[in-house]
Amino acid sequence: MITIRPAQARGAANFGWLDSRHTFSFGNYYDPAHMGFGPLRVINEDKVTPAQGFSTHGHRDMEIISYVLDGALVHKDNIGNGSTIRPGDVQRMSAGTGILHSEYNASQTDPVHFLQIWILPEARGIDPGYEQTHFAPDEKRRQLRLIGSRDGRDSSVTIHQDVNLYATTLAAEESVSHDLAPGRLVWIQVARGAVTLNGETLTAGDGAAIQDEAALTLVGTADEAEVLLFDMTA
């Protein structure tokens, strides 16, 4: 079964410096029908104006992944990490027992566009942690590149949950396939461009909840599609 979550149905928040779209309930947007999917709790598509960002704030017991589409995002935290996240980078921050961090647009002139993803950890109270890895464009071209996993295999970032996170880029008519093990859930998020998913059309910002399907096929239908695939425990 494939249930599409259209981009235009998402929650919205605009604070001037931040334009955000919420796939699941977040902040002032609350919809009991969309509280997450499996351990996936948040997918926010954020656009931050130049030299603006999120001042220091705290999190606990959450796996937070940042995936930059355009621009650059500066991260700082109270456990000693400071970095700039650019397209191709995947950042994983484990909030665990508690972490303080800030995120700012690194540019004085250009916006930054990124996905902020929250995943519920399989255990509470772990030590806070941070990891950042770069994946070259050709690693994702016409293939599902593992970028996050429970065991950190294949140079993916380590997610403290039974989740395999893949990324792919597809030009028109290019395709990738993914088999589902029994009982697994999959969420598809189209970051840019357009694809078909088992024949159903998805465009930028659309998501899809998938269960009880044996296999999935994504086919690019636009100039350049970029898609995230979450294969998760139920």
Q: How far apart are CA 28 and CA 225, in angstroms?
A: 30
**Which conformational region is residue 187 in: left (phi greater than 0), alpha (psi within -120 to 50 degrees), or beta?**
beta
The tens digit of pLDDT for each residue in 128-170 reads: 999 999 999 999 999 999 999 999 999 999 999 999 999 999 9
- Residues 163-216: tens digit of each pLDDT: 999 999 999 999 999 999 999 999 999 999 999 999 999 999 999 999 999 999
Give the number of domains in the chain: 1
Ramachandran bin of 193, using left for φ above 0, alpha for ψ from -120 to 50, beta for the remaining angles: left
**Residue 28, token pair as written in the block:** 């002032």
* C-beta separation of 174 from 223 below 8 A: no
Residue 223 pLDDT exceeds 90: no
CB neighbour class for 132 (10 Å; exposed up to 12, middle 13-18, buried from 19): middle
| pLDDT tens profile 53-80 | 999 999 999 999 999 999 999 999 999 8
DSSP letters for 167-217: EEEE-TT-EEEEE--TT-EEEEEEEESEEEETTEEEETT-EEEEES-SEEE
Q: Using the CB atoms, write b or e for 142-162: b if 16+ within 10 Å.
A: eebbbbbbeeeeeebbbbbbb
CA distances from 188 to 51, 123, 177, 209 (A): 31, 25, 12, 7
Share of the chain above pLDDT 70, in %: 100
Domain region containing 172: 2-232
Does residue 222 have a pLDDT over 90?
no
User: For the chain, what percent of residues have pLDDT higher than 90?
Assistant: 97
Measured CA to CA, the distance from residue 49 to residue 19 in angstroms comes to 9
What local confidence, expressed as pLDDT, does residue 68 receive? 98
| Residues 108-125: tens digit of each pLDDT | 999 999 999 999 999 999
For residue 113, the Cα-to-chain-centroid distance in whole angstroms is: 12
- CATH code, domain carrying 144: 2.60.120.10
Answer for the pair 88, 134: CB distance below 8 angstroms, yes or no: yes
Which pLDDT score is estimated for 125? 96
b/e code 36-63 from CB counts within 10 Å (16+ = b)? bbbbbbbbbbbbbbbeebbeeeebebbb
At 125 the three-state DSSP class reads coil
Element (H, E) at 107: none
What pLDDT score does 160 carry? 98
